[in-house]
């Protein structure tokens, strides 16, 4: 299996990152909570902070205000290399992880949807291997695009915003995925691989 790299950030969205009402809806990353470990189950991700509590991600089916859509976006994954490309494109200091993915993988190259189509495997420090399936592009929203560009909240969207949305598409902003096994815990430092075409 080709290795992508180690997990360097795990996090949950305590609540929606899009706040306000149209046409003044905006992106606010403050509900992001970094955690040392995540529990994955078929319904999504649960954060496991160091204090022993459990924090349900807003895309988990058991969240009171779940944003999960028909099992398509229960889990999200991003790559540090994509953030480097975003910083180059937007000419700013966009921090890693601000797009809100649950799992951020450290890597020095771009990863396309075609390359990730066989699915991913996470190998824990204890040697347990779990399959991450149904990897698909997480389409970028206007609100995150404006925030990433440092576009004024009261500014009227223009061609630069449209071009920014296009740039963030096709996996640049990250990917949705699913885990279908028994509940399992993953931690920062676990390794992520691309599964082969046979699902191994």
Its pTM stands at 0.95
CATH 3.40.50.1820 fits 3-194, yes or no: no
Q: What number of other Cβ atoms are within 10 A of residue 162's Cβ?
A: 12
Task: Give the pLDDT score at 154.
Answer: 79
| Contacts by 125-129, CB closer than 8 A, 24 or more apart | 125/187, 125/189, 125/190, 128/184
Q: Please, which pLDDT band fits residue 70 given cuts at 50, 70 and 90? A: confident
Give the integer Cα–Cα distance in Å for 35 and 87. 24
Task: Give which of 109, 136, 108 is closest to 120, Cα–Cα.
Answer: 136
Q: What is the pLDDT of residues 122-157, one digit of tens each?
A: 999 999 999 999 999 999 999 999 999 999 887 887
Handedness of CA 89, 90, 91, 92 (dihedral sign): negative
Q: Which two tokens stand for residue 126?
A: 């204890």
C-alpha–C-alpha distance, residues 169 and 185, integer Å:
30
| Residues 174-195 pLDDT 10s | 999 999 999 999 999 999 999 9
pLDDT value of residue 5: 98
Tell me what the mean pLDDT of segment 79-107 comes to. Answer: 97
Of 130 and 70, which is predicted with more confidence? 130
Find the mean pLDDT for residues 65-92: 94
CA–CA distance, 87 with 61 (Å, rounded to integer): 33
Domain residue ranges of the chain, discontinuous segments joined by +: 3-194
- DSSP code of residue 139: P
What pLDDT shows up at residue 71? 80
- Whether the per-residue pLDDT at 13 is higher than 90: the answer is yes
At 95-113, the pLDDT tens digits run 999 999 999 999 999 999 9
């Amino acid at each position: 299996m080709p290795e992508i790299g180690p997990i360097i950030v795990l996090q949950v969205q305590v609540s929606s990152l899009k706040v306000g009402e149209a046409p003044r809806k905006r992106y606010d990353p403050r509900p992001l909570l970094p955690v040392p470990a995540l529990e994955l189950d078929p319904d999504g991700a649960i954060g496991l902070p160091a204090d022993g509590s459990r924090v349900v991600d807003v895309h988990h089916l058991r969240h009171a205000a779940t944003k999960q859509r028909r099992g398509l976006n229960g889990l999200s994954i991003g790559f540090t290399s994509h953030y480097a490309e975003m910083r180059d494109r937007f000419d700013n200091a966009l921090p890693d992880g601000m797009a809100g993915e649950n799992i951020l993988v450290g890597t020095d190259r771009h990863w396309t949807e075609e390359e990730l189509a066989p699915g991913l495997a996470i190998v824990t420090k204890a040697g347990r291997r779990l399959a991450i399936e149904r990897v698909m592009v997480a389409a970028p929203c206007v609100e995150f695009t404006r925030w990433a560009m440092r576009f004024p909240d009261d500014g009227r969207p223009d061609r630069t915003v449209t071009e920014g949305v296009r740039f963030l598409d096709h996996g640049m902003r990250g990917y949705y995925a699913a885990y279908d096994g028994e509940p399992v815990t993953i931690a920062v430092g676990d390794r992520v691989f691309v599964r082969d075409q046979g699902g191994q």
